[in-house]
Amino acid sequence: MAQSIHLKKDGVKSNYSGAKEYDLVIIGSGLSGLSSGLMWQKNTDGKRTLIVEKNSYPGGFSTAYEREGYVFETTQLFPDIIDILEYLEIDLNLKQFEGNFMRRLVVEGDQVDEYKIPAGAENFKAYLVSEFPDDADKIRSLMDYSVDMFKQVRRLKANATLKDKLKIPFQAPKVVANLNRTYSGLLDKFGITNPKLREVMETFTSFSGVPSDRASSIMATGAMLSSMTRCFRPYGYFDEFPAKMAELFQERGGEICFNAEVEKILVENGEARGIKIKGEEGAIVAGTIITTVDPNLAMRTLVGDEHLPAAYVEKLENTIMSVSSINVALGLDDKIDMKTLDLDYPYNVVSTGLGTAEKLFEGYLAGDHAFSEDCFHMAVICPSLTTGAKNTITLRCTPFALSQWKEWRESDYKKYQAEKEKWADFFIGIAEKYFIPNLSKHIVVKDISTPATYARYSGSPSGSLYDMASLVTQFGPKRLPMITPVKNLYQPKFSHGLYGTMMNGVQVVDLLVDRKFNDGNSLFAPLKR
């Protein structure tokens, strides 16, 4: 029998004192909840704080888990959030990906184009110029513009006041110019029409799970630059990150209550007063509440429409949540030499050509998927090359909608299993064809997550991976605001990803302490003390 492996997340235990009153209650111990808790401790004098988490360990979507002696992970890379880790004194042994950021294969019929996208914006620019010399000037202009635009984002304020807003056109003209521009619109602006070059550039909108003709140009640029400038992963398993944050939070006086599902946010006269935990008697009173869970769950179920203005409910109803996924985690035997397979990049991505992301997203919006032999997009990640553990491969396949997955899981488990296996075979076939010959012969353990898995695990009604979709129509001021219509209830949703979740903590705590720590800045730029 395989030996059980100890993961850091399992070492973090509830330290809930049973108290019934807190200054701050945070719902969810994912990275948004933990960063909010740690930022709050650092910038207030030890006020009573409780994080409530329905799962038995911290981390939410950023985690690791064991199956039959193999350790699988959800997340695969750290964007550059080193300054925040230092600020919070989170000590992690991180591997920096020095060489290439991504190995990218684009399949057109029998032809396969391969690109090795280097880490670092300047390296990326030089690489694109060498691959596409006819477009050199356009590439340089686009990249310089992108870097400059991202710098201007740094000048913006979260929860901008009227005075802040009046300054924006002067401080951040490129941000203003791009507020309603899609990423394809940005490529058009620089005359980038070469389909192969576009396909490579549009890789970065897939980070946000949206096609480039709908993605916010600012968001896609930010995702590209924050991820590729410097990127990392832990030498250990990914659960180390939230485990360390949770331990620090507890050491600094915070309490975490695991296995505790919030079933109601209690609202009286338009003001959040506390929470009710499922199966527990009475309420926990809270001066302030931060919710980090899916906004549909938080506002429509935990708060309830009766406490919300009709316009807010309508906005929620019209909000498009990000996609869900099928994830195939494979434990492989030791006959396969992973080091020879050229897979040691944060991402290895294979897809069919230009237009694929749009078709797949349309399939998702229609409530299902549009994958076929001629239309696919898949990431292959190989964490064991860093951790040194038994060989693992993860195939990450988006977008899928929740569709019938939940129904099958709950009422027709045989069908659920059959569908899971069908899709796993499909994606293993693609991985075998383009990355790992004879992969199927080496599989020892197979663990398949479906949209129903993501929905159950995170509590998101749609199994959404990245919260609100990063569409141009719901980015920046058009996104649901952090200040909710319920007094004392905050919902920080700057954006998804490890970078975004850290900013959620920065922004919400800065708001709560009247901008005394980050001066209202939308990105991390703490005031010197």
- Which one of residues 25, 40, 50, 53 is an interface residue with ligand FAD (CB under 6 A)? 53
Segment 399-438, which members bind ligand FAD (CB under 6 A)? none
Specify the 3-state DSSP secondary structure of 329: strand
Q: Which two tokens stand for residue 195?
A: 């389909």
Closest to 468 (Cα-Cα) out of 294, 310, 309, 305: 294
Specify the 3-state DSSP secondary structure of 8: helix
- Which one of residues 26, 210, 262, 424 is an interface residue with ligand FAD (CB under 6 A)? 262
Count, residues near ligand FAD per rule CB under 6 A: 32
Q: Specify whether the CB–CB gap between 88 and 39 falls below 8 A.
A: yes
Distance CA 193, CA 210 (A): 20
**Does 501 help bind ligand FAD (rule: CB under 6 A)?**
yes
CB of 1 to ligand FAD, least distance (A): 28
**Does 464 help bind ligand FAD (rule: CB under 6 A)?**
no
Specify the 3-state DSSP secondary structure of 501: helix
Which is nearer to ligand FAD, 192 or 265 (by Cβ)? 265
CB of 65 to ligand FAD, least distance (A): 12
- Which one of residues 12, 64, 71, 74 is an interface residue with ligand FAD (CB under 6 A)? 74
* Backbone CA torsion sign across 425, 426, 429, 434: negative
- Which one of residues 7, 9, 26, 30 is an interface residue with ligand FAD (CB under 6 A)? 30
Please report which helix (H) or strand (E) contains residue 103, including its range: strand 100-108
- Which one of residues 26, 50, 52, 379 is an interface residue with ligand FAD (CB under 6 A)? 52
- Which one of residues 84, 149, 192, 293 is an interface residue with ligand FAD (CB under 6 A)? 293
Q: Which stretch binds ligand FAD (CB under 6 A): 50-58, 143-151, 192-200, 430-438?
A: 50-58
Which is nearer to ligand FAD, 139 or 508 (by Cβ)? 508
* Backbone CA torsion sign across 427, 206, 319, 214: negative
Q: Specify whether the CB–CB gap between 292 and 61 falls below 8 A.
A: no
CB of 111 to ligand FAD, least distance (A): 29
Distance CA 35, CA 84 (A): 9
| 3-state class percentages of the chain: helix first, strand second, coil last, to nearest 5 | 40, 25, 35
Task: Output phi, psi for 138, to 5 deg.
Answer: -65, -40
CB of 223 to ligand FAD, least distance (A): 9
Binding string, 209-248, against ligand FAD, x = CB under 6 A? ----------------------------------------
Which is nearer to ligand FAD, 281 or 373 (by Cβ)? 281
Q: Specify whether the CB–CB gap between 47 and 288 falls below 8 A.
A: no
Burial (CB < 10 A; 0-12, 13-18, 19+), residue 188, is middle
CB of 197 to ligand FAD, least distance (A): 25
Please name the residue that has the structure tokens 């693992």.
392
Cβ neighbours for 30, distance < 8 A, ≥ 6 positions apart: 58, 59, 60, 61, 62, 242, 292, 501
CB of 488 to ligand FAD, least distance (A): 18
Specify the 3-state DSSP secondary structure of 326: strand
CB of 358 to ligand FAD, least distance (A): 22
Which is nearer to ligand FAD, 451 or 520 (by Cβ)? 451
Cβ neighbours for 89, distance < 8 A, ≥ 6 positions apart: 248
**Does 9 help bind ligand FAD (rule: CB under 6 A)?**
no
**287 residue type, one letter:** G
Q: Specify whether the CB–CB gap between 290 and 39 falls below 8 A.
A: no
Count Cβ atoms below 10 Å from residue 268 Cβ, excluding itself.
Answer: 10
Which is nearer to ligand FAD, 292 or 351 (by Cβ)? 292
Quote the distance between the C-alpha of residue 231 and its chain's center.
15
**Does 397 help bind ligand FAD (rule: CB under 6 A)?**
no
Q: Specify whether the CB–CB gap between 217 and 183 falls below 8 A.
A: yes
Please name every residue paired with 26 in a beta bridge, in sequence order, or none if there are none.
51, 290
CB of 458 to ligand FAD, least distance (A): 4
CB of 35 to ligand FAD, least distance (A): 8
**Does 190 help bind ligand FAD (rule: CB under 6 A)?**
no
- Which one of residues 29, 352, 387, 522 is an interface residue with ligand FAD (CB under 6 A)? 29
CB of 145 to ligand FAD, least distance (A): 24
Q: Specify whether the CB–CB gap between 352 and 374 falls below 8 A.
A: yes
Which is nearer to ligand FAD, 221 or 292 (by Cβ)? 292
Please report which helix (H) or strand (E) contains residue 9, including its range: none
Q: For 435-496, where are the alpha helices, taking DSSP H only?
A: 451-458
- Which one of residues 236, 295, 363, 459 is an interface residue with ligand FAD (CB under 6 A)? 459
CB of 30 to ligand FAD, least distance (A): 2
Segment 331-390, which members bind ligand FAD (CB under 6 A)? none
CB of 245 to ligand FAD, least distance (A): 11
Count Cβ atoms below 10 Å from residue 496 Cβ, excluding itself.
Answer: 24
**Does 76 help bind ligand FAD (rule: CB under 6 A)?**
yes
CB of 379 to ligand FAD, least distance (A): 9
- Which one of residues 37, 60, 234, 399 is an interface residue with ligand FAD (CB under 6 A)? 60
- Which one of residues 24, 50, 71, 77 is an interface residue with ligand FAD (CB under 6 A)? 77
Specify the 3-state DSSP secondary structure of 199: helix
**Does 10 help bind ligand FAD (rule: CB under 6 A)?**
no
Residues in contact with ligand FAD by the rule CB under 6 A:
27-33, 52-55, 60-62, 74-77, 79, 261-262, 292-293, 327, 458-459, 465-466, 496-498, 501
